[in-house]
């Protein structure tokens, strides 16, 4: 969710900066002229239709203040704008958290590894047996204490013995994960279609 | 002759230099400053990549080693312990063993070993 908010904030920030730069350039250029001629700030306002926009917005705001029932479209738009603002604030202000798996932490120091790097290493080790066609590892570090959960799923040929292969895969990744306080869960799967075994 | 900059360096920076040397000496890791250069220690304008040295209130210096492990990796714990031992020995040899605090090791990625061309 935060990733989406960050992407949205980046996109909106980029678009707004570009718009602000263009607007600033236009205002600066039209400021060179004087009086009420075409090449002036008043001329720029007329050129982009500010008086008409003011009238339109005025009518819209008058409509909001008018007596009667709640305008559903306007209410939903307002709620949407609020949600968008909250998402942009989250995207802009929430810092990206480094997802580290902490192996151990004591007075001597700590040992940690980036989650994705370790998951890729586990996948590479799990794919070493000949009958394994693909492996996918998901690592979830504990938020406060050391260790975490590792879920490893590997694809294998229909003819291969899944249980035996699971033992082999566990042996392969053991050296990398045995020192960690990881809870390892390994599942095997036979791909339905299109799976290839090296 | 010792460079003038070294004579005036703090224990923190001297330990950071030793940590850098430890990382460079190991063929099993590559120091990394991170994508936005977060893990560095400034040494007279020269950044020491992959080392974060922090002076603790106790007077000791906490060292963070940030590195990519060179694939294949057998055990990250053994690799980290090897680095710690090498660094402790280097610090002790330099007379800085007493100033050394905890050593944090963080592996950020797995990288392929670099093949250097043989000299002609």
Residue-range definition of the domain harbouring residue B25: 4-111
Q: State whether A175 and B74 contact (CB < 8 Å).
A: yes
Identify the H or E element spanning A134.
Answer: strand A132-141
Report CB contact under 8 Å: B104, A110: yes
User: What CATH number does the domain containing B60 carry?
Assistant: 3.30.429
pLDDT at A114 over 80: yes
Can the peptide bond before residue B72 be classed as cis, meaning omega within 30 degrees of 0? Answer: yes
Pick the residue with more confidence: B79 or A193? B79
Tokens at A197, concatenated? 């075994």
Number of domains in chain B: 1
**The predicted structure's pLDDT at residue B66:** 94
The tens digit of pLDDT for each residue in A76-110 reads 888 899 999 998 888 888 766 667 888 888 888 89
Q: pLDDT for A21-48, tens place per residue?
A: 999 998 888 888 766 667 788 888 888 8
CB contact under 8 A, A121 and B73: yes
- In Å, how far are A145, A158, B61, B110 from B16, measured between CA atoms? 28, 54, 9, 23
Distance from CA of A111 to the nearest CA of B (A): 5
B94 alpha carbon, distance to own chain's centre: 15
Q: Which of A113, A175, A179 sits opposite B106 (nearest CB)?
A: A113
8 A C-beta contact, residue B52 and residue B63: yes
Contact status, residue A111 vs residue A104, Cβ threshold 8 Å: yes
Residue B64 above 80 pLDDT? yes
Asked if B104's CB is within 8 angstroms of A109's CB, the reply is: yes
φ, ψ of residue A170 in degrees (nearest 5): -60, -40
Write the secondary structure of A70-96 as one string of H (helix), E (strand) and C (coil). Answer: CCHHHHHHHHHHHHHHHHHHHHHHCCC
Residue B118 within any structural domain of the chain: no
**How far is residue B120's CA from residue B100's CA, in Å, rounded to a whole number?**
42
| Torsion region of B95: left, alpha or beta (phi above 0 gives left; psi -120 to 50 gives alpha) | left
Mean of the per-residue pLDDT values of chain A? 84
The DSSP letter of residue B48 is: E
Q: State residue B3's pLDDT score.
A: 45
Name the percent of chain A lying above pLDDT 90. 11
Q: Give a yes or no: residue B25 inside a domain.
A: yes
pLDDT value at position B2?
Answer: 43
Would you say residue B48 lies in a domain? Answer: yes
Model pLDDT, residue B6: 45
Cα distances (angstroms) measured from residue A55 to each of A58, A62, A65, A88, B119 = 5, 10, 15, 29, 78
Res. B118 pLDDT band, cuts 50 70 90 = low
In chain A, domain spans? 2-93, 100-189
pLDDT digits (tens, 9 = 90+) for A45-80: 888 888 888 888 888 788 777 777 777 777 888 889
Q: Would you say residue B117 lies in a domain?
A: no
Q: Is residue B75 part of a domain?
A: yes
* % of chain B surpassing 90 pLDDT: 56
> Would you say the pTM of this structure is higher than 0.80?
no
Interface confidence, given as ipTM, is: 0.82
Nearest-angstrom CA–CA distance, A148 and B7: 45
Residue A10 in this model has a pLDDT that exceeds 70: yes
Distance from CA of B71 to the nearest CA of A (A): 9
Instruction: Mark out the alpha helices in chain A (DSSP H runs).
Output: 2-31, 41-47, 50-65, 72-93, 115-126, 162-177
Question: Which residue from A151, A161, A159 is spatially nearest to A185, judged by alpha carbons?
Answer: A151
- What is residue B63's predicted lDDT score, i.e. its pLDDT? 95
Can you point out the beta strands (E) in chain B?
29-31, 40-43, 46-49, 51-55, 61-70, 100-111
Q: In what order do the strands lie in the sheet with A132-141?
A: A132-141, A148-156, A182-189
Q: CB-based contact (8 Å) between A100 and chain B? A: yes
Residue identified by tokens 């890791």 is B29
Put simply, the answer to whether B110 touches A120 (Cβ < 8 Å) is: yes
Yes or no: say if B12 and B53 are a contact pair by the CB < 8 Å rule. yes
Q: Give the pLDDT of residue A65.
A: 75
Give me the residues paired with residue B40 across strands.
Answer: B49
Q: Which of A84-88, A158-162, B114-118 has the highest mean pLDDT?
A: A84-88
- CATH domain A100-189 topology: GMP Synthetase; Chain A, domain 3 (3.30.300)
């Amino acid at each position: 969710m935060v990733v989406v908010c960050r992407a949205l904030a980046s996109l909106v920030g980029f678009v707004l900066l570009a718009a602000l730069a263009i607007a600033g350039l236009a205002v600066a250029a039209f400021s060179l002229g004087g009086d009420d001629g075409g090449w002036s700030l008043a001329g720029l306002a007329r050129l982009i239709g500010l008086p008409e926009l003011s009238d339109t917005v005025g009518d819209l705001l008058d409509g909001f203040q008018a007596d009667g029932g709640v305008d559903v479209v306007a209410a939903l738009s307002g709620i949407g704008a609020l949600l968008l603002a909250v998402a942009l604030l989250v995207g802009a202000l929430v810092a990206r958290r480094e997802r580290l798996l902490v192996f151990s932490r004591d007075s001597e120091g700590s040992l940690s590894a980036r989650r994705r790097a370790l998951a890729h290493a586990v996948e590479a080790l799990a794919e070493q047996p000949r009958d394994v066609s693909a492996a996918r590892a998901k690592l979830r570090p504990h938020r406060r204490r050391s260790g975490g959960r590792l879920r490893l799923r590997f694809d294998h040929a229909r003819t291969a013995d899944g249980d035996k292969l699971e033992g082999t895969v566990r042996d392969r990744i053991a050296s990398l994960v045995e020192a960690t306080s990881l809870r390892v869960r390994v599942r095997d799967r036979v791909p339905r279609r299109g799976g290839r075994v090296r | 002759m010792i460079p003038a900059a070294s004579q005036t360096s703090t224990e923190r920076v001297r330990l950071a230099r030793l940590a850098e040397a430890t990382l460079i000496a190991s063929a099993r890791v590559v120091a990394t400053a991170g994508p936005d250069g977060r893990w560095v220690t400034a040494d007279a304008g020269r950044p020491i990549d992959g080392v974060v040295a922090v002076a603790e209130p106790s007077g000791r210096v906490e060292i963070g080693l940030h590195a990519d492990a060179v694939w294949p990796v057998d055990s990250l714990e053994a690799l980290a312990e090897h680095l710690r031992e090498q660094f402790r020995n280097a610090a002790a040899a330099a007379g800085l063993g007493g100033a050394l605090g905890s050593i944090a090791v963080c592996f950020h990625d797995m990288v392929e070993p670099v093949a250097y061309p043989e000299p002609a």
